[in-house]
Amino acid sequence: MSSSVGKTAHSPGSPMDQLAVRRANLALVLAEVRSSDTASRAAVARRTGLTRPTVSSLVNALLELGLVRETDLQQDGSVGRPGRKLELDGSTVAALGLEINSRYLAACSVDLAGRTIQERRLVHDGAGESADDTIRAVASLTAQLIEHAEHSGIRVVGAGVAVPGPVEVATGRVHAAPNLRWNDVPVADLLRAEAGLADGMSVVVDNEANLAALAEWEQAHPGVSDLMYVTGEAGMGAGIVAGGQLLRGRSGFSGELGHVQIDPAGVRCACGRTGCMETKVALPAALDLAAPDLARPAAGTADPAWGPQEQTAELARRAAAGDFRTLAGLDEIGRWLGTGLSIPVNLLNPEVVVLGGYFAAVAPYLLPAAMREMRSRVVAGDAALCRVTGSALGFTAAVRGAAGVIVKEVFADPTRVAR
């Protein structure tokens, strides 16, 4: 295995070359252990082509980092001494997932096997608070999760942050988030400073729909190569997986489906334009049509803990009970949803569309009208119609995807745990 580092700034055999090769080999061995139910040192050496002494050294390093563990003896073939089975551990290493929404903040910590360590959710008026105040609130949640992990002997290696708007991922800067009233906010830098994060701790900021799409694709639809995830809460966005890769576009701003115009005679959107898709199908529009009392509670009666999840649960309850207004409103939302979805379906021809956010909870009441409208608008006819399904992760998809980005960083470079 060669290193691209050695081909540029460093001569072959230099210490930098050797470190790069070792990092790559650690990742290779860790990937083999993750993917196999019968991994042993000998089996890993055979499958990777590395020598047994090299594999033994790499396994010892992964054991020391807490990323793998050795379990009971197993026979590797019909002859020879039995070896110990290698398994993914990662129980002492954690990644944080954080989500900033216009109505709430969410956070979770997971270990490298995907097991949840802690989850937090806080009602927060992101549209009413300044960006600085919101980042301070997120930093407080971050500090609480880190403290909880460290008390349990768990090292936190990074934090992923999901934000509802176009993000310059390389710098962690939010270009614009209309529903938060943000423009050009350096989220990564602000969070690092407010939470006092160490330089070696990774902070990755990305669009919420992108992160949710990755989580849905990896956890619920791993065999699908072309998937579009659509989320609807205060706003609306889409994350697109094409050919097994997240589709970002040239500047990383793809997926703004909520700001595609579908009703020129419609109302003004938070982005300043008229008739955007999110004005017709996002949660506020659904509440206005299907349950106005939930959208505009009487003065002095609003429960501060009454957020999108609670509103959605009540909306679904009324629909299940057969409430006429709720069903009629959701049918109308479904019609507009099908109108809007026909655009990316015609352009991208995905295999599956996953409905997230509040869409997932009320999908049975949206889909009949949505599919009728899509069928009438998809140019290639039934052959181009895709499967449309509710999210398996619901409101947790974005925060899970945010944590998953950090987990992948560790699998790509296991030495970051030590740093």
Is residue 180 pLDDT above 50, yes or no? yes
Q: Which of 419, 411, 408 minimizes the C-alpha distance to 156?
A: 419
pLDDT tens-digit map of 153-170: 999 999 999 999 889 999
User: What's residue 37's pLDDT?
Assistant: 78
pLDDT > 50? residue 7: no
93-212+398-417 belongs to which CATH class? alpha beta
DSSP E strand boundaries for 272-374: 352-355
Report the C-alpha gap between 123 and 305 in whole angstroms. Answer: 6
Mean pLDDT rounded to a whole number for the chain? 88
Contact 330, 362 (CB under 8 A): yes
- Segment 351-369 shows an average pLDDT of 94
Q: Which fold has domain 221-391?
A: Nucleotidyltransferase; domain 5 (3.30.420)
| Residues 209 and 160 sit within 8 Å (Cβ to Cβ) | no
Over pLDDT 70: what percentage of the chain? 91
Whether 5-88 and 221-391 share one fold: the answer is no
The pLDDT confidence band at residue 76, using thresholds 50, 70 and 90, is low
CA distances from 152 to 109, 112, 309, 406 (A): 12, 15, 30, 20
Quick one: average pLDDT of 270-277? 90
Residue 14 binned pLDDT confidence (cut-offs 50, 70, 90): low
Task: State residue 296's pLDDT score.
Answer: 61
In b/e form, how buried is each residue of 108-140, taking b as 16+ CB within 10 angstroms?
bbbbbeeeebbebbeebebbebebeebbebbbb
Residues 222-244 have a mean pLDDT of: 90
Fold of 5-88: Arc Repressor Mutant, subunit A (1.10.10)
What CA–CA distance (Å, rounded) separates 114 from 94? 9
Whether residue 10 has pLDDT greater than 70: no
Distance CA 150, CA 281 (A): 42
Tokens of 17: 């070359």
What residue spans define the domains of the chain? 5-88, 93-212+398-417, 221-391
**Local structure of residue 132 (DSSP, 8 states):** H
* Cα–Cα distance, 131 to 10 (Å, whole number): 43
The pLDDT of residue 199 is 84
Closest CA to 341 of 398, 385, 304, 390: 385
Residue 373: pLDDT over 70: yes
* Top mean-pLDDT range of 14-23, 43-52, 135-144: 135-144
The per-residue pLDDT for 331 is 96
Which two three-digit tokens encode residue 252? 């990383």
Cα Dmax for the chain: 78
The region of weakest confidence among 19-23, 82-86, 197-201 is 82-86
d(CA 394, CA 379): 31
Phi, psi of 209, rounded to the nearest 5 degrees = -70, -35
What is the tens place of the pLDDT at every residue in 279-332?
A: 999 999 999 999 998 876 544 444 555 778 889 999 999 999 999 999 999 999
pLDDT on residue 366: 95
Q: What pLDDT shows up at residue 300?
A: 41
Q: What is the pLDDT of residue 254?
A: 84
pTM: 0.85
The answer on pLDDT for 6 being more than 50 is no
Q: How far is 348 from 158, CA to CA, in rounded Å?
A: 33
Does the pLDDT value for residue 11 go beyond 80? no
Q: Which of 316, 329, 312, 149 is nearest to 234 (CA)?
A: 312
